[in-house]
Amino acid sequence: MALWTPDPTFYASPRDAASAPAEKLAYVAAFDRAAEKPDAIAVLDVDPDSASYGSVVGWTDLPFLGDELHHFGWNACSSALCPGSPHPHVERRYLIVPGLRSSRVYVIDTKDDPAAPKIVKVLEPDELAKRAGYSRPHTVHCGPEGLYLTALGGANGEDGPGGIALLDHASFDVLGRWEVDRGPQYFAYDAWWHIAHDVLVTSEWGTPSMVEDGVVAELLLGRKYGHSLNFFDLRKRKHVQTVDLGDEHQMVLELRPAHDPTKLYGFAGVVVNVEDLSASVWLWHRDGDSWAAQKVITIPAEPADASSLPPVIQPFGAVPPLVTDIDLSVDDQWLYVSCWGTGELKRYNVSDPFNPVEAGSVRIGGIVNRAPHPTAPDQPLAGGPQMVEISRDGKRVYITNSLYGSWDDQFFPDGVGAWMAKLDSTPDTFTFDERFFPHGDAFRGLRPHQTRLQGGDASSDSYCYP
Amino acid sequence: MTDGSLAALVALGAFHGVNPAMGWLFAVARGFQERSRSLVLQSLPAIAAGHAASVGAVAILIALTRSVVATQALAIGGGAVLVGFGLWRLLSRRHFRWVGMRISLPQLAGWSFLMSSAHGAGLMLLPVLTSSGTAPAGHDHGLAASSGSAVSTGVFVTAVHTLSMFAVAGAIALVVYEIVGLTVLRRAWFNLDRLWAAALITAGTLTLLTAF
């Protein structure tokens, strides 16, 4: 049922959103690598005044096995206030949760009991295949005329191209393929937009055959994974420009456009440079009449004894940082960069986006370091900071440790474990919250991936007004 | 045209002007995007022109129909259409999207035309048009003369209505842009869609009642 006044979690501008009240619950996608137990959405208590703060207080088990939950998103967000097609009286209440391996999409209602969300709809893989020609659904964004769902792979026997499917806002039915003209774009991963400029950006990982059984060394060294950004006209759904970052920059993943709708720049993370194993963050921006990108952050590999390395990187004698996620605060001032390989979360001041300045770093996990959490200083941790999510006010940063089932196993062959941590971030400090460290059995043997915060977070909403 | 009908036209114009979805919000968004009050001001006439075209088409169509068929038949037919349209607006959850955010003034006028038409803005004037006193003067001077008169009635109705809509939308756009800011949307953006649908159904029912 529609509301009488706008959903209180919708904000006209990022400035307004930064004053949003603190979240009390966080939703975390958790999956069973063995596909013997159902994957689940774990509900975390993130209210510091609550007795169960920092623990899992609810579970929504899925009815099938082997979905491999990964990323997910809200059915509606602040873009509902945009002036061209306003629909501000819908509710932010459903989580749209794709199974990256199964290609199923779940719709989960958080309204009646936010700590025990209920599954209200399941889209079977053949609906996505038949109507949109895609599989392996990944990123979800609440868009102007529907839900945008990126997908890594093709369907009906095709490995690619991957792309974007459009879902109906209300029924969640798959409406079809989003692209009218995809140009040379073949690989897919993330997509987001400059909504006030009618621009959509996509990034590139690889097709299902290139990623599902782990990273393929020959393909990586042969520079066959994605290494470009693609720009589309959001209204006409047509490819406009490809910006190639250079084929040594393998796997362009998370896209974080400026939240300020008057700005035309954004950050993209690159997992690895095959020439020196470094990772990088790129800034895309307008250059005259076209798009350009430049490397603004380089994070070097850390030398390591080959005997301490898993087989996949043993020949290199170094640990690659593997930047697998980045996240930009709602005020566009701070960029957080996950170095999953080296076990480090870096924070940059990006008030000048062309010249990020490192402003803090914490160590946890890592292929070699196995750095512990301060709450359990004797317990070495596997995995590393992976998915990062920032609260709307920018003060709290949540991280989880699993990347993707088969890749976890390659880089942490003795087990990736399961943990989640939280950092408190002020302009001058950047430290672990020692009261927040759900780990091990807290996740029932499942691996935690993306976090979504109740009411929205730094990577869920887009705004039409500055 | 009676004073009552005139007041109704003005009131409906104000009602349409208040609705953010009818255009003032788009004008404000364009202004904020470029930090330019003149862009807000330029946008408003384009939005009003689109609205006028949508309302005018319906008004002239009704006036012309009225000059050739019995008022009662028109009222019954039109009233039924209006109630049906209102129910559809009430129950439909479609979100229209015809344009992006970077559009020219003619495109903005086109958007406003489509938005007004899809919301049945012109149809809402039906009770005023069917009940505004006697049929247009001169209907015993032949079809051509009465058509001319019908058109002028339609133009008059559209002008009064649109002026009112333009004044209200313009005032709100400027107050929001200059003084209150868009934070007000979170509290003050009432669900006019339902009120709108109710207005359509009421207008249709009124028209039907006057037919008997």
Complex-level ipTM: 0.84
**Helix and strand tally (H, E) in chain A?**
5, 30
How many CA atoms does the CB half-sphere of A24 hold within 13 Å? 7
pLDDT for residue B70? 79
Interchain CB distance below 8 Å, A198 and B20: no
- For residue A235, the model assigns a pLDDT of 92
User: For residue A6, what is the nearest residue in chain B, using CA coordinates?
Assistant: B186
Q: Three-class SS of residue B25?
A: helix
CB contact under 8 Å between A464 and B101, yes or no, is: yes
Q: How many CB pairs under 8 A join A and B?
A: 91
Cα separation, A107 vs A93, in Å, equals 10
Number of domains in chain A: 1
- Return the number of other C-beta atoms located less than 10 Å from residue A73's C-beta: 22
Per residue in B10-30, is it b (16+ CB within 10 Å) or e — as a string?
Answer: bebbbbbbbbbbbbbbbbbbb
Torsion angle in degrees (nearest 10) through CA of B65, B67, B73, B78? 40
Which residues on chain A are in Cβ contact (under 8 Å) with B99?
A: 84, 235
Q: Is residue A5 in a domain?
A: no
Residue A120 confidence (pLDDT) above 50: yes
Out of A145, A170, A464, whose CB is closest to B97?
A145
Contact yes or no for B75/B211 (Cβ under 8 A): yes
From B153's Cα to the closest Cα of chain A, the distance in A is: 32
| Domain hosting residue B26, numbered range | 3-211
- Cβ distance of B101 and A197 shorter than 8 Å: yes
- What's the rounded Cα separation, in Å, for the pair A47 and A295? 38
d(CA A199, CA A180): 14
Let me know: does A438 contact A54? Beta carbons within 8 Å. yes
User: Taking CA atoms, what residue in B is nearest to A19?
Assistant: B183
- For the domain that residue A125 is a member of, what is the CATH number? 2.130.10.10
A154: closest CA among A166, A165, A143? A165
Taking each continuous run of H as one helix and of E as one strand, the counts in chain B are 9, 0
Report CB contact under 8 Å: B20, A83. Answer: yes
C-alpha–C-alpha distance, residues B178 and B166, integer Å: 18
Evaluate whether A108 touches A97 at the Cβ level (below 8 Å). yes
Nearby residues of A19 by Cβ (< 8 Å), 6 or more positions away: A393
Option in B96, B101, B194 nearest A195 (CB): B101
Helix, strand, or coil (residue B47): helix
The whole-angstrom separation of Cα A7 and Cα B187 is 10
Confidence bin at A365 (pLDDT 50/70/90): very high
Q: How many whole angstroms separate alpha carbon A189 and alpha carbon A204?
A: 5
What are the residues whose beta carbons fall under 8 Å from the beta carbon of A293, sequence distance 6 or more?
Answer: A229, A243, A245, A268, A282, A283, A284, A285
Least CB–CB distance from A81: residue in B93, B185, B194:
B185
Indicate the SS3 state at residue B129: helix
CA B193 to chain A, closest CA, distance in angstroms equals 9
**Cβ contacts of residue A409 below 8 Å, gap of 6+?**
A33, A214, A416
The strands making up A228-233's β-sheet, listed across from edge to edge, are A191-194, A199-202, A228-233, A238-244
Count other Cβ atoms within 10 Å, centred on residue A307.
Answer: 6
Tokens of A393: 């006010």
- Angle, nearest 10°, between helix axes B24-34 and B105-118? 150
* One-character DSSP codes across B162-179: HHHHHHHHHHHHHHIIII
Q: Residue A231 to residues A192, A335, A410, A465: CA-CA distances in angstroms?
A: 10, 22, 33, 22
A198 with B102: Cβ contact below 8 A: yes
User: What is the pLDDT, as a whole number, of residue B151?
Assistant: 82
Distance of CA A349 to the CA centre of its chain: 20
- Minimal CA separation from A242 to chain B, in Å: 21
For residue A81, give the amino acid letter: L
Average pLDDT of A113-128? 97
CA distance A461 to A330: 9
Q: How many angstroms separate the CA atoms of B117 and B157, rounded? A: 16
Q: Which of B189, B192, B195 to mutate to test the interface with A (most CBs of A within 10 A)?
A: B189
**HSE of A258 in the Cβ direction (CA atoms, 13 Å)?**
22
CA distance B130 to chain A (A): 32
The 10s digit of each residue's pLDDT in A263-286 is 999 999 999 999 999 999 999 999
How many Å lie between the alpha carbon of A203 and the closest alpha carbon of chain B? 22
The number of angstroms, rounded, from the C-alpha of B10 to the middle of its chain's C-alpha atoms is: 11
- How many Å apart are CA B159 and CA A292, to the nearest integer? 49
Q: Which chain A residues are Cβ-neighbours of B183 within 8 angstroms?
A: 12, 16
> Nearest residue on chain B to A5, judged by CA atoms?
B190
Judged by CB atoms closer than 8 Å, whether chains meet at A5 and B32 is answered as: no
B97 → closest Cβ in A3, A8, A85? A85
* Chain B CB contacts of A13 below 8 Å: 182
Distance, in Å, from the CA atom of A276 to the CA atom of A299, rounded to the nearest integer, reads 10
* A87 chain-B contacts, CB cut-off 8 A: 95
Among B98, B102, B186, beta carbon nearest to A8: B186
d(CA B76, CA B81): 9
By Cβ distance, the residue of A2, A6, A196 closest to B186 is A6
What is the distance between the alpha carbons of residues A30 and A33, in angstroms, rounded to a whole number? 10
The shortest CB-CB distance from B101 to any of A2, A84, A145 is to: A84
Give whole-number Cα distances, A179 to A146, A197, B187, in Å: 14, 18, 36
A396-401 average pLDDT score: 98
Would you call B91 an interface residue with chain A, using a CB distance cutoff of 8 Å? Answer: no
Region A49-54: mean pLDDT is 98
CA–CA–CA angle A65, A68, A71 (5° rounding):
140
What DSSP string runs through A260-311? Answer: STT--EEEEEEEEETTT--EEEEEEEEETTEEEEEEEEEE--EE--GGGS-G
Residue A265 within a domain: yes
Q: List residues of chain A with CB under 8 Å from any CB of chain B.
A: 2-6, 8, 10-13, 16, 81-89, 144-146, 169-170, 195-198, 234-235, 261-262, 464-466
Quick: pLDDT tens for A180-202: 999 999 999 999 999 999 999 99
User: Is residue A345 one of the residues assigned to a domain?
Assistant: yes
Q: Which residues of A touch B98 (CB under 8 A)?
A: 84-85
The mean predicted confidence, pLDDT, of chain A is 97
User: Which residues of B are less than 8 Å from A5 in CB distance?
Assistant: 186-191
- Residue in chain A closest to B26 (alpha carbons) equals A83
Give the per-residue SS3 of A344-374. Answer: EEEEEECCCCCCCEEEEEEECECCCCCECCC
Helix H or strand E encompassing A218: helix A217-221
Q: Are B135 and B66 in contact (CB under 8 A)?
A: yes
Could you tell me how far CA A114 lies from the centroid of its own chain?
22
Cross-chain Cβ contact A82/B194 below 8 Å = no
Burial pattern A396-423, b for ≥16 Cβ within 10 A else e, equals bbbbbbbbbbebbbbbbeeebbbbbbbb
CB contact under 8 A, A465 and B95: no
Blockwise average pLDDT, block size 10, chain B, 212 residues: 85 94 93 94 97 93 82 84 84 71 93 90 86 49 60 90 97 95 86 84 88 76
Distance set, CA A454 to CA A27, A114, A233, A320 (Å): 7, 9, 31, 34
Q: Per the CB < 8 Å rule, is A88 touching B28?
A: no
State how far the Cα of A388 lies from the Cα of A453, in Å rounded to an integer.
11
Please answer yes or no on whether B99 and A261 come within 8 Å at the CB atom: no
Residue holding tokens 């420009």? A241
**Structural domain of A353:** 14-453
Query: What was the pLDDT predicted at B93?
Result: 67
**Count: domains in chain B:** 1
Q: At what angle do helices B37-68 and B143-175 cross, to 10 degrees?
A: 150
d(CA B116, CA B108): 12
